[in-house]
Amino acid sequence: MLVTLVLLFGYLFTFYKEHVVSLATPPEVRSVTPPDVETLTYQTWGDKNNHPIVLLHGTGANSFIWKNVGPILAKENYYVVAVDIQPFGWSKIPKDQDYKKESQAKRLVSALQSLDVKDPTIVGHSFSSKVAIQLGLFMSIKKLILVAPVLDYETIKTPLIVNLVKVSFIRDPLISLFVNNPLLAEKLLYSFMYKKDVDIREITKLTILPFNKEGVNHAYGEWFQEFFIPSSVVSDSDSLKKIPAPVEVLWGDKDTVISEDKFFELQQVRPDAKKVTLEDVGHMPHLEDLGLFIKSLLDLLR
C-alpha cells in the first residue's frame, strides 16, 4: 500500500512539474541544431578566436555548473563552451532516447562542428568523462582532462538497481521524487561534496530550472538505465588507451565516489597521463574550492 502511494505521488509530482510549471530558459543559454541531431543548448565565455575549451557537466547538472569557471578561463584567453548533455539542461530530449556514450559523443561532435569549434581541449567531469573519452576518439582534440572521472569500473550493478532501472513505471516516479526533485537538489549536491560550508544556493537554483522540462523524468530513467546497464561493448579503459591526445586527471582526495585505488588504476590504463591530487575536496572540486581547481586546471592547460 505504501509503495503504491509513493508511486502515485511520484506520478502526480511529475505531472505538476512537466505540465503545470513553465520551463524558463535563461538568456545566457544558446542553442544549436546540427544536421540530424536534436537541438543542444550551451553557454560560451571569451573570444572565439582563442583556444577552445569544452566543459562537460556531471549527472543531473547543466552548463550553469561551470558559471564560475567559464569567465575565469575566458580572462586567461580561452574560448569556453559548456554544453548541456542530453537529456540534461535545456537540450532537447532525443527521440530515440539513445544515451550510449558513443551516441552522446557523436551528437556533441556534430554540435561542435556546427559551432566551428576545432581541436579543443575537452574537460569532462564525473560521468561525462565517459563521453569525453569518446570525443577524443571521434574528433581531433588538443588534450583530454578528466575531473573525478566515473568510468566503467565505478558502475554499480547490484541486482536491485539492475532490476529497478528496467521497470520504467516504478523507476520514473522514484526518479521524479528523489533525483529530479527541486526540493532535494541542494541536499543531493552537498552529498557529493566534502566541503559543506560552500554556498551553492545560486548554483542549485540554476541547476533545477530545467527539472520541469516535458518528458525529462522518463528521459532521466532511460539515461540511468544506460548508465547502470551499459549497452556499449567497449570499456572506457580500452577507449582511453586509444586516444592519441594527451590525457590528464584531476581528483579530490576526499572524493567518496572515486576511491584512491580507482584513481591510481588509471596509471595502469594510461601510464603517460598526468594525475593531480586536489587536497581536501570531494567529487565537486569546481564548487568546493574554485581557486584550487582553477589553478590546477590552468597548470594542466599550459
Asked if 124 contacts 146 with a C-beta cutoff of 8 angstroms, the reply is yes
pTM to 2 decimal places: 0.95
Asked if 172 contacts 221 with a C-beta cutoff of 8 angstroms, the reply is yes
Say whether pLDDT at 173 is over 60.
yes
| Confidence band of 229 (pLDDT split at 50, 70, 90) | confident
Say whether pLDDT at 122 is over 80.
yes
Give the cell for residue 181.
526533485
Give the cell for residue 166.
528496467
Say whether pLDDT at 157 is over 80.
no
3-state class of 251 per DSSP? strand
pLDDT at 32: 96
List the 247-252 sheet strands across, edge first: 30-32, 40-45, 78-83, 51-56, 121-125, 143-147, 247-252, 274-278
Say whether pLDDT at 167 is over 80.
yes
CATH architecture of 2-301: 3-Layer(aba) Sandwich (3.40)
Conformation bin of residue 46: beta by default, left when phi > 0, alpha when psi is -120 to 50: left
Q: What is the pLDDT of residues 28-80, one digit of tens each?
A: 999 999 988 999 999 999 999 999 999 999 999 999 999 999 999 999 999 99
Q: What are the boundaries of each domain within the chain?
A: 2-301
Residue in this structure with the C-alpha cell 556546427, named with its chain if needed: 114
How high is the mean pLDDT of the chain?
Answer: 93
Is the model more confident about 129 or about 7?
Answer: 129
| Confidence band of 156 (pLDDT split at 50, 70, 90) | low
CA dihedral 219, 225, 227, 232 (to 10 degrees): -110
Give the cell for residue 250.
584531476
CA 249 to chain centre: 16
Give the cell for residue 175.
526518479
pLDDT at 200: 96
* Nearest partner of 151 among 180, 125, 177, 189, judged by Cα: 125
Asked if 126 contacts 155 with a C-beta cutoff of 8 angstroms, the reply is no
Identity of the residue numbered 95? K
